[in-house]
Each structure stands twice: as structure tokens, then as C-alpha cells.
Amino acid sequence: MIDGKKKRSAFETERYSVEFTAKRWTKEEEKFLRENLEIGVTRIAEKLGRSYRSVMSKMWHMKKKGALKNG
């Protein structure tokens, strides 16, 4: 408890009240990601309508599989 208030869990806050469903990556999105690495993760995320974390995660998986060059 903080100041007499019960601490809310992440699932009780307004931020998480919207149901989340994972959106699969399409081949076109993967191609866009490979071709536009130089514009930065934030701009790629904006253009694809995805979160920064989603783009970073996808880049990590692509690097792991060898679809992206390290660096």
C-alpha cells in the first residue's frame, strides 16, 4: 500500500483495459523492415503501425535467423 491506497496490478489499470491480440508479421512488412533499417526503429514502427517493442523484437528474431545482418 502506498499512502493508504492499494497498489494496482498492471491488468487493473486503464492502460490495459483494451484487449490485446497479436498481429502477425506479413512478408511485405518484413521486406519493408529489411529495406529501411537506416531510418530507425521508431520511424519504422510509426510507418508500420506497430509498437517500438514489436519492431525491436522482430529485428532480434530476424537477426537470430540470419535474415538481417548484425550491425
In this structure, what C-alpha cell is assigned to residue 22?
Answer: 497479436
Give pLDDT, residue 25.
94
| DSSP 8-state code for residue 68 | S
Full domain range(s) for residue 42: 24-71
The number of distinct structural domains making up the chain is: 1
- Identify whether 13 is part of a domain: no
Give pLDDT, residue 61.
94
- Identify whether 11 is part of a domain: no
pLDDT in tens, 1-54: 455 666 655 555 555 555 666 789 999 999 999 999 999 999 999 999 999 999
In angstroms, the CA 29 to CA 48 distance is 7
In angstroms, the CA 21 to CA 56 distance is 18
pTM as predicted: 0.66
